[in-house]
Structure 1
């Protein structure tokens, strides 16, 4: 991880729009404040923890009981799942959702593009990561903070053999009331309900959430989250994504999650730009793959 002075030197490229605070000792979070928006980004996982456009309510949810500890996933914001989504496809002993979200990343550059702050992070390759993913790669995350929030995860194959990757930008969206929330953009898609089994089904209507949900939709469509309680619509444009995952643990499973207050399930829904299940792209030698989400918000018409 960076020495504090090195991190601050890189952040000078943001012209005073960034500060660094430790939420706990040894756990730095970059705080961005521009005329257009504020954001918080942890070096751990290169994870966006919060984003709030000027004049709007926060768009992302982070649990009040989130654990800030190296090697532990942070409950909330935008965890980066990589190089697989969910369970490892071949080895059940491997960590769920890969290892990118539970390691400290390095900030490699920071600068302004117009009024947007743009930060680029790189995942260090170690003996431990090589043991879990024995391929030559470079993984970067480019985060753009403005009136829209962009997160682009780029995988480069530096080796001589092709490899497959899965993953997701596992975004926790804050909502006023989960039961008054609708997700547009998955109607007509084939899906697998992870709570019901591996059989594929077809989504015949727009998605409303009234119980625990863990569904992988095979869809490349952009998404619209209608929050009737907060009177706003959140849009998610996708690139390099063949899957959309929607998740909420609901009441009973929330009680099993020690880093989530019992009733907090009412306040968020995860709508994830992903490559999950059988939708795992192949990255050929000297080539790259980019998974990108662009998030924006407007008042609900």
Structure 2
């Protein structure tokens, strides 16, 4: 089965390639849902043949807060200004976290809440490929005065692959940060493990202290908020039920985050027990690895999840 469906949640409009809220994709390899807001992948389920039953099973590679998604859909239906969606893979740009000099500006920049343009949809024997773009406009220029173009290619097949290009379309260089703020499902966070960061320096954002990851695996028994630098870009998330492999190119930072119990209560867009169900492993270039892009130049990055 292969299909791509454009959906809108406001009855005033008819959904098409240029006017939609979410896209639903299904092919022989996967099922996926992508929001136009942020060009954000909300879900990705890989299909797998069960040799014992001859049935097709599915493996979910992303986690999304049902409460946050419902709030987003309610805002769409009532024409209220939509908020960022907590889950899937939001894109943080042109800064990560709070703005370095103005706390009034939106956390994680504006890319995750802007409406992107879907410029092409292709289907091949490998699955579906979608190309989204975002350029500077009156909203972005109000908080970041640089001409730019973001190009995001999403490939939905046996793997989920994302390729991002950041182009400086202005006459002067600019500095920026970006992060794929990816949410991954775990059976229980207490049983989750992350491989791939041993020996790497990290800033613990809860203590503002710098450490080195001594153990082979990262484990979780409390709130965790760390920025790792000079990383290799290859990771494995696993628990007793499944494992998820992440491979990146040119992403020199990684952020590991779980809010644990008390912070989850303060978030407002997740259920009280949701902290047990996910971990964020964010592939990025932030802080000392922020990007410097000359006028007319571009920088490219990729991430593959399997």
Is the TM-score greater than 0.5?
A: yes
Contact 1:85 1:275 in 2 (8 A): no
> 1:23 deviation in Å?
4.9
Range that drifts further, 16-25 or 175-184: 16-25
Aligned to 2:3: 17
Segments of 4+ in structure 1 off by > 6 A? none
Deviations along 1:250-269, whole A, 9 cap, x unmatched? Answer: 11111111110000110100
Aligned to 1:182: 193
Aligned to 1:32: 25
> 1:133 deviation in Å?
1.5
Aligned to 1:63: 65
Aligned length: 279
2:274 maps to 1:264: yes
Residues 65, 94 of structure 1: alpha-carbon distance in 2 compared, 3 angstrom cutoff: same
Unaligned runs of 5+ in 1: 1-14, 297-301
Contact 1:106 1:124 in 2 (8 A): no
Deviations along 1:29-57, whole A, 9 cap, x unmatched? Answer: 10000000000000011000000001332
CA distance in 1, matches of 2:160, 2:175: 27
CA distance in 2, matches of 1:162, 1:114: 40
Residues 220, 164 of structure 1: alpha-carbon distance in 2 compared, 3 angstrom cutoff: farther
Aligned CA RMSD, in angstroms, stands at: 1.6
Aligned to 1:249: 259
Aligned to 2:50: none
> 1:135 deviation in Å?
1.0
CA distance in 2, matches of 1:113, 1:225: 30
> 1:71 deviation in Å?
4.1
Aligned to 1:43: 36
Aligned to 1:223: 235
Deviations along 1:107-159, whole A, 9 cap, x unmatched? Answer: 00110243221101111421120121211111121111011001222111111
CA distance in 2, matches of 1:163, 1:71: 29
CA distance in 1, matches of 2:192, 2:61: 14
Deviations along 1:76-119, whole A, 9 cap, x unmatched? Answer: 11011011111112322211100000111110011024322110
Aligned to 2:286: 276
Aligned to 2:220: 209
CA distance in 1, matches of 2:10, 2:206: 36
CA distance in 2, matches of 1:254, 1:141: 30
Unaligned runs of 5+ in 2: 14-19, 48-56, 76-80
Superposed, which structure 2 residues align to 1:134-153 within 5 Å? 134-153=145-164
CA distance in 2, matches of 1:175, 1:23: 30
